[in-house]
């Protein structure tokens, strides 16, 4: 371990000590602070902050789309990439004061594969059972890092279930990419009974406590997993907020968990599920919505000033939905998102 330095976060007035060998974000997470973040790989900009005092900061490799050179020169930084070598003061640009102190401890775990099911041609439902420890606490909507066996690499996947308390299980919905490091291993090598190393939980894609606010969920691909976790949690807890889940897929064969999601209306009386296909088969029997999911959202919604929105899926979908939701009136601070990146993030 290296030397430690003080990091003060404003405007919340919280101070922590950070080891030079750790990023600011990882150190904060280990100390129970739930700072805004997404990919942890310098790609999504969710953790972008401003350095108020101190300049001896070095960044691990990152994308200049997340932090352009001119912003870095102005004093902006990415907490998931930043190593500090002196005491610094950092202004959090994106934070939730109610959540910041509610972080759960980051744990190392070993889990065993229970099942791997093909739910579409390129989505897999992976179920693990925790061996050590037997339970990991997480908030619905969070994710774990899974180590790719035989490498030093990890990939991040959101849980689709709500808790590991009863049976030690963690569920994931994982998109398979032709050259994906973990997903290729998942499809060609991993089997029932094999063990995996995990670290977590991470992420701030969690349901905010605002019983008077309507909910809009927008998902695509494996972005189904954390939204399914949130919806399952709402059903378990009896949260009866008005909610609509817009889910985009190419064809009907790309839809999964449809029966379960539609059955949630039995416990969530003010819930509506709106799947849409961008490329429905000609002559098929699809009777639902057609088009990109953002176009469908625009057709359905007129005024979302009183709503909280949760977006999860491929970056192009998230990036298209964010300005649309703002245009429809959703306050920017109440648009919560997870971008599933394909390098370092959700594989």
> If DSSP codes are grouped into helix, strand and coil, which group holds residue 261?
helix
Q: What is the CATH number of the domain that holds 161?
A: 2.40.30.10
Position 344 confidence tier, pLDDT thresholds 50, 70, 90: very low
Same domain, 80 and 138: no
Same domain, 184 and 88: no
Q: What is the CATH number of the domain that holds 238?
A: 3.40.50.80
Same domain, 89 and 196: no
Cα separation of 26 and 81, whole Å?
Answer: 9
Q: Does residue 345 carry a pLDDT above 60?
A: no
Cα separation of 197 and 173, whole Å?
Answer: 17
Same domain, 64 and 127: no
Cα separation of 251 and 276, whole Å?
Answer: 9
Least confident of 20-29, 39-48, 78-87, 139-148: 39-48
Q: Mark which of 151, 176, 202 sits at the end of a domain.
A: 202
Token duo for residue 323:
């300005």
In this prediction, residue 342 carries a pLDDT of 54
Cα separation of 150 and 144, whole Å?
Answer: 18
Stretch 233-252: mean pLDDT: 96
302 within domain boundaries: yes
CB 90 within 8 A of CB 24: yes
Looking at the structure of the chain, the number of domains it has is 3
44 within domain boundaries: yes
Task: Provide the percentage of residues in the chain whose pLDDT is more than 70.
Answer: 97
| Range(s) of the domain holding residue 301 | 214-342
272 within domain boundaries: yes
- Mean pLDDT, all residues of the chain: 93
Same domain, 195 and 224: no
> Helices (DSSP H) in 11-94: which residue ranges?
24-30, 69-74
Give Cα separations from 124 to 156, 208, 221, 264 (angstroms): 14, 28, 11, 22
Q: What is the CATH number of the domain that holds 72?
A: 3.10.20.30
Beta strand 88-92 with 4-10 is: parallel
In this prediction, residue 91 carries a pLDDT of 97
209 within domain boundaries: no
In this prediction, residue 341 carries a pLDDT of 59
Cα separation of 324 and 134, whole Å?
Answer: 43
Position 13 confidence tier, pLDDT thresholds 50, 70, 90: very high
Same domain, 180 and 69: no
Cα separation of 114 and 170, whole Å?
Answer: 10
Same domain, 337 and 218: yes
Q: Mark which of 53, 73, 102 sits at the end of a domain.
A: 102
347 within domain boundaries: no
Helix (H) or strand (E) holding 98: none
Cα separation of 202 and 197, whole Å?
Answer: 15
Nearest to 43 by CA among 258, 347, 343: 343
Cα separation of 274 and 13, whole Å?
Answer: 43
> If DSSP codes are grouped into helix, strand and coil, which group holds residue 237?
helix
Q: Does residue 211 carry a pLDDT above 80?
A: yes
Spatial strand order of the sheet with 143-147 comes to: 154-158, 143-147, 195-202, 107-118, 123-132, 169-175
79 within domain boundaries: yes
CB 114 within 8 A of CB 127: yes
In this prediction, residue 346 carries a pLDDT of 43
Same domain, 227 and 138: no
Nearest to 329 by CA among 157, 160, 213: 213
Token duo for residue 217:
């969920």
207 within domain boundaries: no
Q: Mark which of 174, 202, 230 sits at the end of a domain.
A: 202
Cα separation of 128 and 118, whole Å?
Answer: 15
pTM of the model: 0.88
Cα separation of 311 and 332, whole Å?
Answer: 12
Same domain, 98 and 123: no
pLDDT tens digits for range 276-335: 999 998 878 899 999 999 999 999 999 999 999 999 999 899 999 999 999 999 999 899
pLDDT tens digits for range 149-181: 999 999 999 999 999 999 999 999 999 998 899
Stretch 107-123: mean pLDDT: 97
Same domain, 66 and 125: no
Cα separation of 183 and 153, whole Å?
Answer: 13
Same domain, 229 and 298: yes
Same domain, 175 and 192: yes
What letter does residue 41 receive in the DSSP assignment?
S
21 within domain boundaries: yes
Which of 34-43, 94-103, 216-225 has the highest average model confidence (pLDDT)? Answer: 216-225
């Amino acid at each position: 371990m290296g030397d430690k330095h003080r990091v003060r976060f404003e405007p919340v007035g919280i101070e922590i000590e950070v080891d030079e060998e750790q990023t600011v974000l990882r150190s904060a997470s280990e100390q129970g602070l739930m700072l805004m973040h997404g990919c942890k790989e310098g790609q999504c900009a969710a953790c972008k902050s401003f350095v108020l005092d101190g300049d001896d900061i070095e960044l691990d490799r990152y994308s200049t789309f997340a932090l352009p050179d001119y912003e870095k020169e102005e004093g902006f930084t990415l907490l998931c990439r930043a190593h500090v070598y002196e005491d610094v003061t950092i202004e959090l640009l994106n934070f939730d004061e109610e959540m910041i102190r509610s972080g759960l401890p980051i744990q190392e775990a070993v889990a065993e594969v229970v099942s791997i099911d093909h739910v579409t041609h390129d989505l897999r439902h992976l179920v693990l059972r925790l061996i050590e420890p037997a339970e990991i606490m997480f908030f619905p909507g969070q994710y774990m890092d899974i180590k790719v066996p035989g490498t030093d690499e990890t990939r991040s996947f959101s849980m689709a279930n709500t808790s590991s308390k009863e049976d030690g299980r963690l569920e994931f919905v994982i998109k398979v990419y032709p050259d994906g490091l973990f997903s290729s291993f998942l499809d060609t090598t991993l089997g029932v009974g094999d063990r995996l190393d995990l670290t977590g939980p991470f992420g701030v894609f969690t349901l905010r406590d605002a019983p008077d606010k309507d909910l809009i969920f927008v998902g695509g691909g494996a972005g189904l997993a954390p939204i399914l976790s949130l919806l399952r949690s709402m059903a378990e807890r009896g949260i009866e907020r008005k909610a609509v889940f817009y889910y985009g897929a190419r064809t009907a064969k790309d839809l999964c968990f449809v029966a379960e999601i539609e059955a949630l209306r039995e416990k969530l009386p003010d819930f509506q599920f709106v799947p849409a296909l961008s490329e429905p088969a000609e002559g098929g029997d699809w009777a639902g919505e057609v088009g990109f999911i953002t176009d469908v959202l625009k057709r359905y919604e007129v005024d979302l000033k009183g709503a909280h929105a949760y977006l999860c899926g491929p970056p192009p979908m998230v990036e298209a939905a964010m300005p649309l939701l703002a245009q429809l009136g959703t306050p920017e601070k109440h648009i919560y998102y997870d971008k599933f990146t394909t390098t370092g993030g959700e594989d």
